[in-house]
Amino acid sequence: MRKIAVVTGTRAEYGVLKNTLNKIKGSSNLELQLIVTGSHLSEDFGYTINEILEDGFNVDEKIPILMSNSNKGSIAKEMALLMIELSQAFERLKPDILLILGDRYEIFAAASTAMAMNIPIAHISGGEITEGAIDEQIRHAITKMAHIHFPGAKAYVQNIINMGEEAWRVFDVGDPGIENIKLTKFLSREELKRQLSVKLDEDTLLITYHPVTLEAKALPCQIESLIKALDTINKTMIITYPNADNGGEYIIKKLEEFAKVNSNVHLFKNLGVVRYLSVMKLCGSVIGNSSSALIEAPYLKVPVVNIGNRQKGRLMADNIICCGNECEVIIEAINKSLSNDFKEKVNNTKSLYGEGDTSEEIVKVLESIEIDDKLLKKKLIWS
């Protein structure tokens, strides 16, 4: 039986991986080895390993790495610590393939460790572009380390090939986020009200704002402008914590202060996959700079306001309004997103990220691909 090790470090990443994990777990030819690290093991971010366990997964390795301050130095140290611990975990587990998703620093550490240990790497969501964050460099570096590629859209297939990767290694499987939506049993407004103590209406805002890691000095002004704009709009707001990047603690502090003095602001460390997608489906608009707004929200035909440069370069569907970080332009964009004219336009939005058979396609490749010299010895190909 082929052993597939999967490393997950955040709630968002796990939510996207969940269906693929279930398919691996259910395969008679594959054995799932799950390694949990990062913010999953932090009370400050909701200790989301509990969600993984409640979903019925066995956790083979737990690797706590988060330090008290997520600054530039601590993140580098966290990566170093994770590589040490992962090298020992890989020696114990002896995986045949490492499957990873995305572009966070925990995943870069996992890919680097596997590369050094000659473990084949399968990478989900390569080829994407996000010019405002260090995720951009991380993602492309993982692409050059990876042996198997599972991009989320046709444009990203071509980006990977343009980076010199052999075409036979690249599988156009679509984005796992679309499959999540198709398989989710959504909660009603009444169920969400009971669980979250929030009454959603047609103008409720769902907000997630992550640090723009290549614009760290501008973060105080950016979050101040966002909060001022949200305060001016004055709608019911459901806000989720940012991820554990440099600047995340500052954002959390400011959001907690904002929620403390506004009864219409509801701040959550973690909603979980089903509640998050259910809120997204029923809200008036998704605000911030999260990739989920660009991938899942178009499929659900929900308006989006994408703020700043964190997602600059990604595919943008017709439901997305991009704006700068200034308070006035954020207000204008939110008001436009809630307008009847724009909502009518959003109803015709088409997803750019596949049709939602992603996990089945990924598992087929993991089961069948030959692990031989052809796979392990990469060539640089220029078309």
- Tens of pLDDT, residues 311-367: 998 999 999 999 999 999 999 999 999 999 999 999 999 888 877 789 999 999 999
Report whether pLDDT(383) > 70. no
More confident position, 215 or 29: 29
Percent of the chain whose predicted confidence (pLDDT) is above 90: 83
Report the DSSP beta bridge partners of residue 237.
205, 265
- Contact between residue 67 and residue 22 where contact means Cβ atoms under 8 Å apart: no
Of the two residues 177 and 235, the one the predictor is more confident about is 235
Structure tokens at 124: 């989900």
Residues 143-155, mean pLDDT to the nearest whole number? 96
Q: Hey, which residues does 305 pair with through a beta bridge?
A: 287, 321
Read off the pLDDT of residues 8-49 as tens digits, 9 standing for 90 and up. 999 889 989 999 999 999 999 999 999 999 999 998 888 999
The answer, yes or no, to whether residue 71 has pLDDT greater than 80, is: no
Tokens of 53: 């366990």
What pLDDT, on the 0 to 100 scale, is given for residue 70?
Answer: 60
Q: Is pLDDT above 80 for 90?
A: yes
Identity of the amino acid at 79: M
pLDDT confidence of residue 306: 98
pLDDT at 298: 94
Q: Average pLDDT of the chain?
A: 94
Two structure tokens written together for 214: 């290549």
Dihedral angle over CA of 249, 214, 10, 154, nearest 10? 150
Instruction: Go through the domains of the chain in sequence order and give each one's CATH number.
Output: 2-175+354-376 (3.40.50.2000), 185-346 (3.40.50.2000)
| Residues 302-318, mean pLDDT to the nearest whole number | 94
What local confidence, expressed as pLDDT, does residue 134 receive? 83
Report pTM. Answer: 0.85
Span 374-382, average pLDDT: 93
> Can you give the three-state secondary structure of 279-300, one letter per residue?
HHHHCCEEEECCHHHHHHHHHH
Quote the pLDDT of residue 20. Answer: 96
Give the model's pLDDT for residue 75.
87
